[in-house]
Amino acid sequence: MEILMSITVGVLFMVGTYMILTKSILRVILGLMLMSHGAHLLLLVMADLKAGAPPLLGEDATAFSDPLPQALILTAIVISFGVTSFLLVLAYRTYKAHQTDDLEKLRGTADE
């Protein structure tokens, strides 16, 4: 399972990288979202996937899955959500101001 998940993470990173290397702002944002998915999944995979019950004490199980990576991922999800929505509005504003979403046209002038 860990090997399969590692490959999945690699695919997420690969596609994410490809997306951020393109010209459109929307694609860059989508690429960043894919990469953060990859990072979250990787955090989870690096913990032990084998152990048993969800980390709820009421389950009365002998083994629980590791709660710490889950807490870390939860924090990371919220932060990347904040950043992504900020980026989205920024892209929206950029489009309104410059009438383009092509990054090559958003290079600015030489003296900037």
Binders of other proteins among 18-77, rule CB under 8 A?
Answer: 18-24, 26-30, 33-34, 37-38, 40-42, 44-50, 52-58, 64-68, 70-71, 73-75, 77
Q: How many residues touch other proteins (CB under 8 A)?
A: 84
CB of 109 to other proteins, least distance (A): 10
In 10 A of CB 105, how many CB atoms? 11
CB of 44 to other proteins, least distance (A): 6
- C-alpha dist (Å) from residue 58 to 40, 61, 71, 106: 26, 8, 18, 55
Beta bridge partners of 64: 53
CB of 60 to other proteins, least distance (A): 10
CA–CA separation, 48 and 65 (whole Å): 7
Q: Which two tokens stand for residue 4?
A: 């399969």
Q: Does 1 bind other proteins (CB under 8 A)?
A: yes
Q: Does 105 bind other proteins (CB under 8 A)?
A: no
CB of 40 to other proteins, least distance (A): 7
Q: Does 111 bind other proteins (CB under 8 A)?
A: no
In 10 A of CB 104, how many CB atoms? 8
